[in-house]
Structure 1
Amino acid sequence: MRSRRGFAVRSLSVRVAAAMVLLVAVVSVVISVLTTAAISSYLTKQLDSKVAASQGRTIMALTKGDGSQPPPAPHGQDAGTVTAYLSSSGAIGNVITADGVLATLSDPAVAALDEVPADDGNRTVDLPALGQYRAHASQIGPVTVVTALPTKDIADTINSLIGWEVLFGGVGVLTAGGVAVFVVRRQLRPLRRVAQTAREVAGLPLDTGEIGVTARVPDQLTDERTEVGQVAVALNTLLGHMESALDARHRSELQVRQFVADASHELRTPLTTIHGYAQLSLRQRDHELFSHAMGKVMVEATRMAALVEDLLLLARLDAGRPLDLRPVDLTRLARESVTDAQIVSPDHHWALSLPPEPVVVTGDEQRLHQVVTNLLSNARRHTPAGTTVTVELIADDRHTAVLTIHDNGPGIPADLQPNVFKRFTRADTSRTRDSGGSGLGLSLAQSITEAHGGIVTVTSRPGDTCFTLALPR
């Protein structure tokens, strides 16, 4: 796997370097072609100027003669200059050799010059045995005068230029290739660091417990003004989300394990009691003892059924089951709940403060009654006799109904407050029945409240504990 990733990075380097080399090669070819064309045009114009000057000298020599025969080559003509005189009576031509000797042109060469139109600019012609020439024809009376100069110097210059262009272009392409490979590898070094971070995270055992903080791309490589920096930032963000998701999953798994353990513990106690009293009733024939055993079995069975019902309700709330929503008079609900609490626990002092007008919210009346009852039961169970419990209901200006339950009891331990709404959370870790219920009351209160779009909070210190229930109206 590592070799494949390395190949991918190298292939990217090769592709980018090849693109740069190809670009340099194309630019070099374009520049070479344009340069060659420009030099060729310039040299051709210079040669045309020489042809015009040579033609002028030839015409001047012709006009100074008596016209009975062609004049010799005028003075000042370069070696290789071709001169031809064409008329209806005949044609003759000569060429100045490299030794300065005036040589007669062959008939095919004269015939080629005869094809040049008079007074129509310079033309390129191929003269047999001589090569390529630039020729100009002028009509002087009955005689057509043609002067031509060789293009060999231009061809040699262009061929030499092309050779140098090929050489310099090849050197430039090779140099560009080496520089491109060096620069691309250097620029892709941060990308390789990003890939290394991804490989480190990929090698972690993501399926074993809590992951914690994984590797990150260094901050110096997370400049979002660059493409690599944007990739690095995106990878770091992805890793952060992954850590959060895996840690949340781990915590959820731990909560599930703890939930199963707590539920098993809570169910085991009544089951053990039922089993013991059932065996006792089978061994005893005394009617009174049998009735007591059956009564105890009934109490524990009822307690177990209530626990199962609470667990089932929590599961339904977690699954998002719809509630039976309708207008609920919180004022009446609070009054009835406090009245019930006074009957159950007359040793506590119960105080109730209600607004003059009924406070109505939309909700499930049975579940909201369960929330208030659980909060009052929590205050009753965890405070000694003589504690004052004050229930106050207000409707604020933000379309929210706020119910507070305050007591001046010993308070909730500080280490227990962050977990007070978690399931099976109990102040007494021994889980004896003397300490109260199963530890699901506050968890149910929070779940039901959140299902109504509300929130329940707690603040506590010795002598001042307050649960606040806020519901939208």
Structure 2
Amino acid sequence: MSLRAKLIAEQVVLLAMVCLVIGVVTIVGLRTFLVGQLDGQLTDASRRALVFVGRDRGLPSPPPPINAPGQGPGTINALLVRGSVYDAARQTSSGFSQSLRTELHSVLLALPTDGEAHDRALGELGDYRLLATRSLDEDVVVITGLPLGAVDDTILTTGLLLGGITLLGLTIAGVAGVLIVRRTLRPLDRMAATAARVAELPLDRGEVALSVRVPTVYTDPRTEVGKVGSALNRMLGHIGAALTARHASESRVRQFVADASHELRTPLAAIRGYAELAQRRGVDVTHALSRVESEAKRMTILVDDLLLLARLDAGRPLRQETLDLSRLVLDAVGDARVAGQDHRWRLDLPADPVMMRGDEARLHQVAANLLANGRTHTPLGTTITTRLVVDGDEVVLTVADDGPGIPDALLPEVFERFARGDGSRSRAQGSTGLGLAIVAAVVHTHHGTVTVTSKPGNTVFTVRLPTHS
């Protein structure tokens, strides 16, 4: 059963139960009221009969109480003398008395003489309200009865009216419920339609533009349905962001594979060419073999960098040892000074050694890659300044240069793999395009951050590392 049908059915059943309770309470209350009125009339009729019977006490036999003045049609009066029915009659609508049948005498004799009214069935006469009262003469009991037919007819008529009104009300409530529930659940239909449209999209491949959303009018957080719509929109937003990230990751992987293949193909092609050249007669084999060795070294460096990035991406832990970062930076700058003598090198270290925990070899690679990046991508004579400071629980390493700066288009992806300032794949300057990617991966593994700001004449790489990784 659908939610709409359940809501309507529950609404109708609940309303029917309420109407039933109201009807039962009304019927019971009305009958109690009518029977109370009848008991009042019964008491008056019994009093008249008692007065009439006691008025002629000197007679050999008491007069029939049915002849008492004021007794209305349908009234029953019976006179019991010493446990026997002396007289029992019923007042007809024409004003005459009619004797009761003998088989009804047993009902009259069984009636308790307690001054309380009791309901009794008198055969074809129907149900009566009977009251037995003892007269001044202890041996005489006067029974008075009034018919319950009028009360029962009133109750039946009232019950039928209530039933009809209830049926009409339930019909109207059902129709109104259908309209109200349909309008109330309309936002859910729109949400289902939105979900259906999303389900039809090819989410398993390619770039997915997940622009389908629940209309804003159905996302009011003040209503329950609005909360569902708002939550669905947030979920679709998260899914869209995840799909975008997945597509970007797939694109990076494809680009990475393409770049790695190209990077490896270049030295392999050179090795193959020099190997073929060495096989020819009259060629300087020593030069050819030295070039093969050079290209093999370059390919080894590239493969080592790729393997390092793969290990870092896999989340493999690095060594944790206490190291002197001041000594590490000093050695890295000394190596860079030897490799780039045409640049000006400056070093600013604190007076006390900076100690921290981390992988010394990888952190040395971070410093060396930053310095090599500054040396490789700046013209001769550029000043490269390396500064190391302690900031609370963090160590801050900055490498700044006064070169031409990084192009704005490249700045957001400078830490991506195979990113180069000239946009080419040239090996003229010896860059593999992985240096800064390794810097970012190693720093991230040490729970640190690396950022870059650049403008012409001032490019600054900032590495922040916790002293206890």
- Selected match of 2:140 from 131, 143, 152: 143
Give 5+ residue unaligned stretches, structure 1: 1-7
Q: Does 1:283 align with 2:280?
A: yes
Post-superposition Cα deviations, 1:196-235, rounded to whole Å, max 9, x if no partner, equal 1111211112123222342111222112222111111111
C-alpha separation in 2, matches of 1:270 and 1:90? 135
Post-superposition Cα deviations, 1:251-294, rounded to whole Å, max 9, x if no partner, equal 000000000111011111100000001111112255xx111111
Change over 3 Å in CA distance of 1:432–1:131 after alignment to 2: closer
Post-superposition Cα deviations, 1:52-71, rounded to whole Å, max 9, x if no partner, equal 10111111111211342332
Q: Does 1:16 align with 2:13?
A: no
Q: Does 1:70 align with 2:62?
A: yes
Give 5+ residue unaligned stretches, structure 2: none
Question: How many aligned positions are there?
Answer: 461
Equivalent pair of 2:78/2:85 in contact (CA under 8 Å) = no
TM-score by length of structure 1 reads 0.94
Q: Does 1:37 align with 2:28?
A: yes
Change over 3 Å in CA distance of 1:63–1:418 after alignment to 2: same
Q: Does 1:28 align with 2:19?
A: yes
Post-superposition Cα deviations, 1:423-454, rounded to whole Å, max 9, x if no partner, equal 00012233222133110011111111111111
Change over 3 Å in CA distance of 1:425–1:50 after alignment to 2: same
- Selected match of 2:446 from 452, 461, 470: 452
Structure 2 residue aligned with 1:347: 342
Equivalent pair of 1:348/1:380 in contact (CA under 8 Å) = yes
Alignment of structure 1 residues 281-360 onto 2, 5 Å: 281-286=278-283, 289-360=284-355
C-alpha separation in 2, matches of 1:176 and 1:18? 11
Post-superposition Cα deviations, 1:127-183, rounded to whole Å, max 9, x if no partner, equal 244222111111121211111111111111112122212211211111111111111
Amino acid at match of 2:19: S
Alpha-carbon distance, 1:366 to partner: 0.6
C-alpha separation in 2, matches of 1:402 and 1:93? 120
Q: Report the identity percentage.
A: 46
C-alpha separation in 2, matches of 1:90 and 1:42? 32
C-alpha separation in 1, matches of 2:167 and 2:124? 37
Q: Does 1:219 align with 2:216?
A: yes
Secondary structure, counterpart of 1:433 in structure 2: coil
C-alpha separation in 2, matches of 1:419 and 1:130? 106
RMSD, matched Cα:
1.5
Equivalent pair of 1:314/1:447 in contact (CA under 8 Å) = yes
Equivalent pair of 1:412/1:460 in contact (CA under 8 Å) = yes
Equivalent pair of 1:91/1:110 in contact (CA under 8 Å) = no
TM-score by length of structure 2 reads 0.95
Alignment of structure 1 residues 377-416 onto 2, 5 Å: 377-396=372-391, 398-416=392-410
- Selected match of 1:101 from 92, 96, 104: 96
C-alpha separation in 1, matches of 2:124 and 2:218? 72
Structure 2 residue aligned with 1:61: 52
Amino acid at match of 2:436: L
Structure 2 residue aligned with 1:4: none
C-alpha separation in 2, matches of 1:233 and 1:56? 78
- Selected match of 2:356 from 354, 361, 371: 361
C-alpha separation in 2, matches of 1:17 and 1:187? 12
Equivalent pair of 1:317/1:447 in contact (CA under 8 Å) = yes
Equivalent pair of 1:92/1:110 in contact (CA under 8 Å) = no
Q: Does 1:418 align with 2:412?
A: yes
Post-superposition Cα deviations, 1:291-316, rounded to whole Å, max 9, x if no partner, equal 11111101001100110000000000
Alpha-carbon distance, 1:250 to partner: 0.1
Alpha-carbon distance, 1:119 to partner: 3.2
- Selected match of 1:125 from 116, 120, 125: 120
- Selected match of 2:40 from 41, 49, 68: 49
C-alpha separation in 2, matches of 1:30 and 1:291? 110
Equivalent pair of 2:85/2:109 in contact (CA under 8 Å) = no
Amino acid at match of 2:16: A
Structure 1 residue aligned with 2:110: 115
C-alpha separation in 2, matches of 1:209 and 1:154? 83
Equivalent pair of 1:387/1:409 in contact (CA under 8 Å) = yes
Query: Which has the larger displacement, 229-238 or 295-304?
Result: 229-238
